[in-house]
Amino acid sequence: METAGERLETLAARSARAFIHGTERRRAALDRTARLLDAVSYTAVLGRGFALVRDETGAPLRAVADTKAGQTVSIEFADGRIGARIDGEPPPLVASTEQADPADPPAPETATKRKREKPQRADGGQGTLF
């Protein structure tokens, strides 16, 4: 038979283990939620090369129709913000050949595969295994 003291020690140890296990579970759930929040955050989109344009009040501008010539805007990139002024006309597009970085090597040309010709059998049949 267990004494009351032994039983109390057993229950205290079980309680401590349950507390630690519960804390670890909650920490893991919090870590998963933080990773999910990072994945869907607009800052992750900025890291992929997009920018967020805001008006003078800090509200995001979603369309060209939301802007006017002479308007001051803030452009947020992944590494910071910069101010800009809308002049009303988009800059002319540069041909794609002019946009290529001279430091980048040209893409290798792909060779076309030739079909291998199968050797012709003299007897025209399948042959034997023996």
Helices (H), 41-58: 42-47
Residue with the bigger pLDDT between 127 and 74: it is 74
Name residue 109's amino acid: E
Residue of 89, 87, 91, 90 whose CA lies nearest to 70: 87
pLDDT at residue 90, rounded to an integer = 76
CA distances, 8 to each of 14, 18, 39, 52 (Å) = 10, 15, 47, 60
Quickly tell me which residue has 């344009």 as its tokens. 53
Give the global pTM: 0.47
Q: How confident is residue 125, by pLDDT bands cut at 50, 70 and 90?
A: low
pLDDT at residue 63, rounded to an integer = 92
Quickly tell me which residue has 């939301």 as its tokens. 66
Cα–Cα distance measured from residue 13 to residue 21, given in angstroms and rounded to the nearest whole number:
12
pLDDT tens column, 27-55: 999 999 999 998 888 888 898 899 999 99
